[in-house]
């Protein structure tokens, strides 16, 4: 087994992890990533296979569980009811119920509202240099999610703070302060949503929370804890991914130049897929082995973890011609950015729709948009998103 070494908190790596991925892919399909202490899949074939191999999953084998730290109880309680951390049959049940409420028709119904939101945000852009990430890329998904859930949009800044504090738990640079902030955010978020769910049970409305309450599969419904965890997951996972996919995409277009044809109705789907392939917002996802399993010459034992490098798989030259080149004219192929298998991101259709609407409107309204400072990524690996995106128009 080849060993690779790279600190995930090294500033140079955080700003550009792709040279390391290139070196690791060249060695083998699976490598032992010493800094993480686990086997890691860097090539597309390995990532694709492991995402779909039912001998591996997200839920920790029970014999590995240890006593939960008391200070993390509110955060772990949410995770315990999240379908992101569940496997069949629990995952199957949760996903079926959620998909009854979060339908493609409901997602498409957001289209006009997203377009109007984009225009209103651009109307408020200043004439001086400003941060596009906070003024636009963040606002589009967070306000859309608020509207979808039926939560007042004036709550968006507070939801954003809770989301940031909770999602920080998954970064390599996690600290005791990170854990305290995440637990506090989880507690406050849960209390807020519990009150909202209670209200919607007696006062139904045309929103996702009401539809989740009503969702039924053969007489089964979501419990209140499951419903709250689902709302938190939709906000945290959906919002974080779309913010950084938009930000990374605009950065790439401004650095490399853009062709108006890419933003036309006939080209926008390809552009979005290429943005997601080239510089995705989530780089690493893990799985546990549930039994002894041989994969590409390595034998996993039950309980072993494996890291799936989604962003590395997207740039595998064995799967994509000129994989290191940003080229929206290339034929769109399925990328790894939303995962795969039964845990394929439930919010992917909404994220794609938001990007397909927000990018053309931005560049049509601001054709002279330019970078006002060198963009920098946040120190938040294994997420990969900008800390700000200073622009002029």
Residue 311 CA to residue 166 CA, distance in Å, equals: 22
Taking only the tens place, the pLDDT of each residue in 114-167 is: 999 999 999 999 999 999 999 999 999 999 999 999 989 999 999 999 988 998
Average pLDDT, the chain: 93
Entry pTM: 0.94
Q: What is the mean pLDDT of residues 60-89?
A: 89
Given this model, what pLDDT does residue 369 score? 97
Residue 164 CA to residue 142 CA, distance in Å, equals: 12
For residues 213, 154, 130, 383, the Cα torsion angle rounded to the nearest 10 degrees is: -30
Is the distance from CB of 102 to CB of 208 less than 8 angstroms? Answer: yes
Is the distance from CB of 34 to CB of 3 less than 8 angstroms? Answer: yes
> For strand 3-4 and strand 30-33, is the pairing parallel, antiparallel, or unpaired?
parallel
Taking only the tens place, the pLDDT of each residue in 255-292 is: 999 999 999 999 999 999 999 999 999 999 999 999 99
Burial class (CB in 10 A: 0-12, 13-18, 19+), 307: buried
Domains of the chain: total:
1
Backbone angles phi, psi at 370, to 5 degrees: -140, 155
Instruction: At 5, list the tokens.
Output: 């070494």
Residue 322 structural domain: 3-392
Residue 105 CA to residue 108 CA, distance in Å, equals: 5
**Is residue 189 very low, low, confident or very high in pLDDT (cuts 50, 70, 90)?**
very high
Burial 43-66 (b: 16+ CB within 10 A, else e): bbebbbbbbebebbbbeeeeeeee
Residue 187 CA to residue 336 CA, distance in Å, equals: 32
Q: What CATH number did the domain enclosing 386 receive?
A: 1.10.630.10
Residue 139 CA to residue 125 CA, distance in Å, equals: 12
**Is residue 187 very low, low, confident or very high in pLDDT (cuts 50, 70, 90)?**
very high
Q: What is the mean pLDDT of residues 13-28?
A: 96
Instruction: At 239, list the tokens.
Output: 């919002």
Residue 48 CA to residue 148 CA, distance in Å, equals: 31
């Amino acid at each position: 087994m080849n060993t690779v070494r790279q600190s995930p908190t090294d500033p140079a790596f955080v700003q550009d992890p792709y040279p390391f991925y290139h070196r690791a892919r060249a060695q083998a399909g699976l490598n032992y990533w010493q800094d993480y202490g686990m086997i890691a899949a860097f090539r597309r074939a390995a990532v694709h296979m492991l995402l779909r191999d039912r001998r591996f999953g997200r839920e920790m084998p029970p014999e590995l569980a240890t006593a939960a730290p008391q200070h993390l109880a509110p955060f772990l309680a949410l995770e315990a009811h999240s379908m992101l951390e569940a496997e069949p049959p629990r995952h199957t049940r949760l996903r079926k119920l959620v998909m009854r409420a979060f339908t493609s028709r409901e997602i498409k119904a957001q289209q006009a509202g997203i377009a109007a939101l984009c225009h209103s945000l651009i109307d408020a852009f200043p004439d001086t240099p400003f941060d596009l990430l906070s003024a636009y890329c963040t606002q589009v998904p967070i306000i859309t999610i608020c509207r979808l859930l039926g939560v007042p949009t004036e709550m968006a800044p507070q939801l954003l703070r809770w989301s940031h504090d909770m999602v920080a738990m998954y970064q390599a640079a996690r600290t005791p302060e990170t854990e305290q902030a995440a637990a506090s955010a989880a507690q406050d978020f849960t209390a807020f949503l519990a009150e909202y769910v209670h209200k919607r049970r007696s006062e139904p409305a045309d929103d996702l929370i009401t539809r989740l309450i009503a969702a039924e599969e053969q007489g089964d419904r979501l419990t209140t804890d499951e419903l709250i965890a689902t709302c938190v997951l939709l906000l945290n996972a959906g919002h974080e991914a779309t913010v950084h996919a938009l930000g990374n995409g605009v950065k790439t277009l401004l650095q490399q130049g853009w062709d108006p044809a890419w933003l036309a109705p006939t080209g926008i789907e390809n552009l979005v897929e290429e943005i997601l392939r080239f510089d995705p917002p989530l780089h690493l996802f893990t799985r546990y082995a549930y039994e002894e399993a041989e994969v590409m010459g390595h034998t996993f034992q039950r309980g072993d973890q494996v890291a799936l490098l989604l962003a590395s798989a997207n740039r595998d030259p064995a799967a994509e011609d000129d994989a290191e080149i940003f080229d929206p004219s290339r034929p769109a192929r399925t990328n790894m950015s939303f995962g795969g298998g039964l845990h394929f991101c439930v919010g992917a259709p909404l994220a794609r729709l938001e990007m397909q609407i927000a990018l053309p409107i931005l560049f049509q309204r601001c054709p002279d948009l330019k970078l006002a400072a060198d963009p920098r990524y946040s120190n938040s690996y294994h997420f990969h998103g900008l800390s700000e995106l200073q622009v002029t128009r």
